[in-house]
Amino acid sequence: MARTPAGTPPNPKGAERFHEERATYTVRGSDQPDLEKGASVIRETVSTLPAKPGVYRMQDARGDVLYVGKARALKNRVSNYVQVERLPLRLQRMVSQTRSMTIVTTNSEAEALLLEAQLIKRYRPPYNVLLRDDKSFPFILLRADHSFPRIMKHRGARKAKGNYYGPFASAGSVNKTINALQKLFLLRSCTDGFFDRRDRPCLLYQIKRCSAPCVARIDETGYAELVRQAKDFLGGKSSAVQQEIEKQMHEAAETLDFERAAMLRDRLRAATFIQGSQAINAEGLGDADVFAMAAKGGQVGIQAFFIRGGQNWGHRAFFPTHTSGVEDEAVLSGVLAQFYEEVPPPRTILVDRGLPDASLMQEAFREIAGHRVEISVPQRGDRKRLVEQASRNAVEALDRRLAESGTQAKILRETAEFLELSDVPQRIEIYDNSHIQGAKPVGAMVVAGSEGFLKNQYRKFNIRSAQTNDDFGMMREVMNRRFSRAQEEDPDRDGGLWPDLVLIDGGKGQMSSVKDVLEELGIEDVPLIAVSKGPDRNAGREVFHFADGREKTLPVNSPVLFYLQRLRDEAHRFAIGAHRQKRSRAISASPLDEIPGIGPARKRALLLHFGTAGKVRAASLEDLQRAPGVSAAVARAVYDFYHPSG
């Protein structure tokens, strides 16, 4: 057993929060899978640990992370795993698989909590509570990099300059809010390019959802006033904004400016609509999130309400995994830590039960948010009623989840019986190709599991070697690349990369192509099914082709048929989307992209001056040098690219 330096840990998203250097190292043991070997690795690690805060990772013989934990004093915390007879069975299994540990010391326990959440989201360890949510939360962005700021929906990293408002629970809730805000404040939502090209108002101006700053129907000062009102409204001053608009409406009516009064009346109605659409009463709460938890049937559901500026911006139910044997309070703490690793914490977080590390989480969240964060269990008043409403929603969401999972489990059992599988499939991969007469071909793989589609595991394949219009060749290439990589990355088939069932959109030809590829790779135990449409390509009369040449069909009203159709249609949708993206990139590409050292700004200057890439190519060196924004060196580079012997 040796102590070896491991370098710094991978830099997960948000690691820039930590500036202090950490001590990191790994202790490794042998690969024999038993409890004593795992305990000996931990025992050796404990002998080298300091009594400092930090994060520890337990890894198996392959180096895959089993568990990520934090500690106020690493030596004290990790030593608990040595007393294996006192551990629950779940943790005994974890210890028995542990063959190495990586230790990261930090400057505080709060820093360790934040790093722990980052590493859990990065590695998805099987013994940690996991918040399963593959989509980032949408925000409203009011940009600040233009004289006439744009209002828009935003996902992902908050790099653009402007004001962000959120999170919203779904794209639907943020879209409805933006539509109402456009009616209320008449802010533009178009791109800067569209804005610059306008010479007359667009349809949004006609339907009174934009003030048309692109064609000077409002000046910069007037638009800035609308932006100020929007910021006040989204920042929690909605009542003041409504009173201001109402006052302006009465003033316009008194001066007999009825057209302006009518416009202000419509804006006031939009404000009333936004406030009236709130499903919960959050007035006076400011910025807050509400979390409540329900547990039943071995599953956990957590309901979250998002409130900003006293307005309800939607709610979402979470169903964390790996919760068996974990205390409810610890589950909720883990979910909160992972949730706020991506979303900025509000000033108030209301929960339905006390959390053992609430004060530590408040300290950690303060580091993220830059302001004080309070986690509390309300005991009376409106806040308590709000938490009770979240609790009812959590119970209802979990009941729906259990009912759906029961139905899903039944369908999967019936699917396994119909397709003659040895067991209920836990991972189903569905494949399809998309192209137009061989142009821009793309292969697609979607993945489904016992709880629905696993969109973070979808893959697309840019076809490289197959001939155009050769669907069979495209499918051969996709399957060869997919399973060659699986053999390299997971030869023992214990990493969750191998499917229990492969569905192919096609008939006998596609089945033969896939079967040949897998046989060449020495793979004979992956179940293959090809799905082709029946006579006249009617949906509902699909034929299921087996690898041995047999064919089967299902009744038109069969739930299994509906399920398999949905899998096939999802692969078709994803393949078409990937093909359209590739085609759009090709359409927008320019021959100037191939010239080394010519960036977007110079390419734009050349195209604006000459009109087309063809005219740039035909231009003389002197003409190129006369183009605005093009230096002599750039002109020479462009000319030499098109005239290499010149």
In this structure, which long-range contacts are made by residues 629-633, counting pairs with CB atoms below 8 Å and at least 24 apart in sequence? Answer: 629/601, 629/602, 629/605, 630/602, 630/605, 630/606
Top-confidence residue, 613 or 474: 474
User: Which structure tokens are listed for 564?
Assistant: 């398999």
- The mean-pLDDT minimum among 82-96, 307-321, 331-345 falls in 307-321
Mean pLDDT rounded to a whole number for the chain: 82
Parallel, antiparallel, or unpaired: how do β-strands 452-453 and 311-318 relate?
unpaired
Quote the pLDDT of residue 8: 37
Range of the domain at 371: 288-297+327-399
Quote the pLDDT of residue 285: 76
Quote the pLDDT of residue 437: 52
Q: Give me the CATH number covering residue 620.
A: 1.10.150.20
pLDDT of 171 higher than 60 = yes
Residue at which a domain ends, from 579, 604, 624: 579
CA distance 393 to 404: 16
The tens digit of pLDDT for each residue in 503-557 reads 998 888 889 989 999 988 888 889 999 998 866 555 667 899 998 888 998 888 8
* Secondary structure class of 313 (helix, strand, coil): strand
pLDDT of 27 higher than 70 = no
Residues 6+ apart with CB under 8 A from 534: 540, 541, 542, 543, 553
pLDDT of 244 higher than 90 = no
Mean pLDDT throughout 483-506? Answer: 86
Same domain for 486 and 530: yes
Task: Tell me the pTM.
Answer: 0.66
pLDDT of 99 higher than 70 = yes
Neighbouring C-beta atoms of residue 636, cutoff 10 Å:
14
pLDDT of 603 higher than 80 = no
Quote the pLDDT of residue 15: 42
Quote the pLDDT of residue 590: 59
Mean pLDDT throughout 568-578? Answer: 85
Same domain for 193 and 63: no
Mean pLDDT throughout 299-320? Answer: 86
Domain contains 302: no
Same domain for 453 and 502: yes
CA distance 222 to 266: 18
User: Which structure tokens are listed for 545?
Assistant: 């082709």
Quote the pLDDT of residue 443: 85
Quote the pLDDT of residue 435: 62
pLDDT band at 341; cut points 50, 70, 90: confident
Q: Give me the CATH number covering residue 68.
A: 3.40.1440.10
The tally of domains found in the chain comes to: 5
Quote the pLDDT of residue 167: 84
Same domain for 233 and 171: yes
Distance set, CA 500 to CA 164, 420, 461, 572 (Å):
43, 12, 21, 20
Same domain for 499 and 433: yes
DSSP assignment of 419-478: TT-SS--SEEEEEEEEEETTEEEEEEEEEEETTEE-GGG-EEEE--SSPTT-HHHHHHHH
Domain contains 245: yes
Instruction: Please check whether residue 457 is in contact with residue 574, taking contact to mean a CB–CB distance below 8 angstroms.
Output: no
- Label residue 576 exposed, middle or buried (CB < 10 Å: 0-12, 13-18, 19+): middle
Same domain for 549 and 431: yes
User: Which structure tokens are listed for 519?
Assistant: 């046989």
pLDDT of 645 higher than 70 = no
Distance set, CA 279 to CA 153, 160, 306, 312 (Å):
22, 31, 11, 7
Instruction: Please check whether residue 53 is in contact with residue 107, taking contact to mean a CB–CB distance below 8 angstroms.
Output: yes
CA distance 147 to 204: 19
Phi, psi of 38 (to 5 degrees): -65, -45
pLDDT of 131 higher than 90 = no
